[in-house]
């Protein structure tokens, strides 16, 4: 089948650094695709090349069967791009902002007002963008990307710098967009976000794709042990190690964490000793996959 | 694609943003107007300053000239009597008077200061002509020649007539340059320029919108300036082909706008590097 987005061997150099060093992937119609990676991994550069903001040094990109570079006026109305939450006209209200963007695409004002409603900003229609909160500005920015009903939507770290409520609120908005059958490409460095939203993710570091697949499959592929933690004090770490199925145990003074590949046996054993107070069971997450692939050392 | 519609909505967005920006509004309209009020208010009703002369002792030549010419002379010459010669001379030295005049027999003596050569020249010319007409009168003959002076400008030329256009020119220049460069720089730093590049609106509509808005703002400035300067207090009078100011204003704004766009492109080039 023809992919909505097809990226082959993409390369981009800045100075002496390969920001993008041979990235390839395909995105199917209606898919929610995540590009995941630490800061400086080349996510944004990759996205900007696909959007048509930058020219690749090598490789091929096609979006809806068209090349994004050079600027193609036939392609532009079919894609929606959310850049930064600050990409607004100064001193306009939320409604005026959306109507202005809409009119660039020949969209009637009525449609812009509906869009405002759908991102939950109807109550802020007459508020100037400067007075919106971070989450509201982000939602408005997404509404501006969607006002002309594009087939493909690009979101660059949409939930960065948002508080947890605003993040979850925005996730609902994004899921609703995707339910409408649109293809969405999202960059993020937030694992839980990629896990919750994306059908497939590409984990990118140093300009390369390290792993590609559905988040659940990536996590399973890691074959990492589950972690069972209970309140510290009832059981010592060495006692815990002697329980059946326990691969490792660690007591940090607040909680005792046990690693196991057979969590049900461990929980049963802990229950038999009355040590289940404050129990928590955590399987491996995308974060574990990510750290496994990109390393744990801190990089500024 | 939708070029005209894009131009219209971008122009509107820019204009609305401008009108709501009190700072920009102040500096493009009110601030130059403030100078108009100050300059035209202070210099608007100015007449040629009088020459102040201190007369020490009797000076019949001067007294008779003042008596004979009356208003014609006292409009330009103010004579004050001072008893003490030294005090009068000090007044001239300190700039409180322009000359000290005394008469010794048939000689009229004028003491002046070189600190103000213009005033000194006026005093010497004025007193010289007084002495000459006194001479003619003493000869018993009627004067044969006479002088009639006439200005080349018509009677409307007050200070406001030239302060208004010069301040307006300044206002237009700064609005044109700052408006255009600021738009480019803020649009670029906010990422709006990139966002607009990804919309189907042709690139010329961005610049077109800036031109439309700058010309509109300039015509607004023209209207406000002419309106305020025409108030009776300032007394600007429009005459002749004054409406030719309209195309002139447009041409001037376009010139300064071009400078502003170059500055904006240069000043905003270092956009923040993103992840």
Choose the closest CB to A53 out of B5, B198, B200: B198
Residue of B nearest to A46 (CA): B275
Full-model pTM:
0.75
ipTM for the complex shown: 0.80
Instruction: Report how far residue B112's alpha carbon sits from residue B125's, in angstroms, rounded to the nearest whole number.
Output: 12
B190 contacts in chain A (CB < 8 Å): 84, 86-88
The Cα of B46 is separated from the nearest Cα of chain A by a number of Å equal to 45
Task: Please judge whether B13 and A106 are an interchain contact, meaning their C-beta atoms are less than 8 angstroms apart.
Answer: no
pLDDT for residue A151 = 93
> Chain B 144-203, CB below 8 Å of chain A: which residues?
186, 190-192, 194-202
pLDDT for residue B273 = 46
**Within an 8 Å CB–CB cutoff, is residue A81 touching chain B?**
yes
Q: Mean pLDDT across the stretch B191-216?
A: 90
Instruction: Report how far residue B164's alpha carbon sits from residue B39's, in angstroms, rounded to the nearest whole number.
Output: 9
Residue A280: phi and psi, rounded to 5, are -145, 135
The Cα of A128 is separated from the nearest Cα of chain B by a number of Å equal to 10
Q: Which token pair is A159?
A: 């939930």
Residue B274 has pLDDT above 60, yes or no: no
Residue B192 half-sphere exposure toward CB, CA atoms < 13 A: 20
pLDDT for residue B235 = 81
**Within an 8 Å CB–CB cutoff, is residue A92 touching chain B?**
yes
> Chain A 148-167, CB below 8 Å of chain B: which residues?
157
Task: Please judge whether A81 and B198 are an interchain contact, meaning their C-beta atoms are less than 8 angstroms apart.
Answer: yes
pLDDT per residue, tens digit, chain A (300 aa), is 579 999 999 999 988 888 999 999 999 999 999 999 888 888 989 999 999 999 999 999 999 999 998 889 899 999 999 877 678 999 999 999 999 999 999 899 899 998 898 888 989 999 999 999 888 898 899 899 989 999 999 998 888 778 888 888 889 888 988 888 899 999 988 888 888 899 999 999 889 999 899 988 888 887 778 888 888 888 888 888 888 888 888 888 888 888 888 888 888 888 888 888 888 888 877 888 888 887 766 664
Task: Please judge whether B17 and A91 are an interchain contact, meaning their C-beta atoms are less than 8 angstroms apart.
Answer: yes
Task: Please judge whether B200 and A53 are an interchain contact, meaning their C-beta atoms are less than 8 angstroms apart.
Answer: no
Q: B173 near B256, Cβ under 8 Å?
A: yes
B119-168 pLDDT tens trace: 888 889 988 988 988 888 888 888 888 888 887 776 666 778 888 888 89
Instruction: Report how far residue B94's alpha carbon sits from residue B77's, in angstroms, rounded to the nearest whole number.
Output: 19
Q: B175 near B221, Cβ under 8 Å?
A: yes
pLDDT for residue A294 = 77
**Within an 8 Å CB–CB cutoff, is residue A87 touching chain B?**
yes
Pairing state of beta strands B51-55 and B99-104? parallel
Size of interface A-B (CB pairs under 8 A): 80
């Amino acid at each position: 089948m023809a992919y909505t987005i097809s990226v082959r061997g993409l390369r981009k150099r800045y100075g002496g650094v390969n920001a993008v060093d041979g990235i390839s992937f395909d995105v199917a119609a209606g898919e929610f695709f995540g590009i995941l990676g630490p800061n400086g991994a080349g996510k944004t550069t990759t996205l900007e090349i696909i959007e048509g903001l930058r020219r690749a040094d090598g490789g091929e990109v096609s979006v809806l069967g068209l090349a994004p570079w050079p600027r193609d006026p036939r392609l532009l109305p079919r894609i929606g791009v959310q850049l930064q939450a600050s990409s607004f006209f100064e001193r306009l209200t939320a409604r005026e902002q959306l109507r202005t963007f809409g009119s660039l695409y020949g969209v009637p004002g009525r449609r812009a007002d509906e869009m405002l409603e759908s991102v939950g900003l109807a109550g802020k229609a007459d508020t100037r963008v400067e007075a919106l909160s971070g989450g509201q500005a982000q939602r408005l920015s997404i509404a501006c990307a969607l006002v002309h009903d594009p087939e493909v939507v690009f979101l660059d770290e949409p939930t960065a710098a948002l508080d947890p409520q605003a993040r979850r609120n925005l996730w609902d908005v994004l899921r609703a967009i995707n339910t409408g059958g649109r293809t969405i490409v999202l960059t993020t460095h937030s694992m839980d976000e990629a896990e919750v939203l994306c059908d497939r993710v590409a984990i990118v570091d140093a300009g390369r794709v390290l792993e590609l697949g559905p988040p659940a499959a990536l996590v399973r592929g890691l074959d990492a042990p589950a972690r069972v933690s209970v309140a510290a004090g009832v059981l010592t770490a060495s006692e815990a190690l002697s329980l059946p199925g326990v691969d490792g145990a660690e007591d940090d003074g607040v909680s005792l964490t046990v690693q196991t590949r057979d969590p049900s046996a461990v929980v049963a054993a802990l229950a038999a000793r009355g040590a289940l107070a404050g129990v928590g069971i955590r399987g491996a997450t995308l974060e574990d996959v990510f750290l496994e692939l990109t390393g744990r050392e801190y990089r500024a | 694609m939708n070029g005209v519609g894009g131009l219209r909505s971008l122009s509107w967005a820019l204009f609305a943003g401008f009108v709501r920006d009190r700072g920009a509004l102040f500096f493009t309209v009110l601030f130059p107007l403030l100078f108009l009020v100050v300059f035209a208010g202070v210099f608007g009703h100015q007449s040629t300053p009088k020459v102040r002369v201190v007369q020490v002792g009797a000076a019949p030549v001067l007294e008779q000239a003042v008596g004979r010419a009356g208003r014609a002379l006292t409009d330009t010459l103010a004579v004050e009597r001072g008893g003490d010669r030294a005090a009068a001379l000090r007044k001239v030295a300190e700039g409180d008077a322009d000359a000290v005049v005394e008469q010794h027999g048939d000689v009229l003596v004028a003491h002046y200061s070189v600190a103000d050569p213009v005033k000194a020249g006026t005093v010497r010319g004025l007193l010289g002509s007084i002495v000459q007409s006194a001479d003619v009168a003493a000869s018993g003959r009627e004067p044969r020649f006479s002088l009639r002076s006439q200005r080349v400008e018509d009677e409307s030329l007050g200070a406001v007539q030239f302060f208004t256009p010069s301040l307006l020119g300044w206002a237009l220049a700064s609005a044109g340059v700052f408006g255009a460069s600021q738009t480019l720089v803020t649009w670029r730093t906010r990422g709006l320029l990139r966002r607009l590049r990804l919309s189907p609106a042709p690139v010329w509509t961005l610049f077109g919108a800036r031109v439309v808005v700058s010309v509109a703002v300039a015509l607004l400035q023209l209207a406000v300036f002419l309106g305020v300067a025409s108030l009776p207090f300032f007394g600007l009078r429009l005459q002749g082909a004054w409406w030719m100011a309209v195309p002139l204003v447009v041409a001037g704004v376009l010139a300064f706008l071009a400078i502003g766009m170059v500055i904006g492109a240069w000043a905003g080039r270092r956009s923040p590097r993103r992840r």
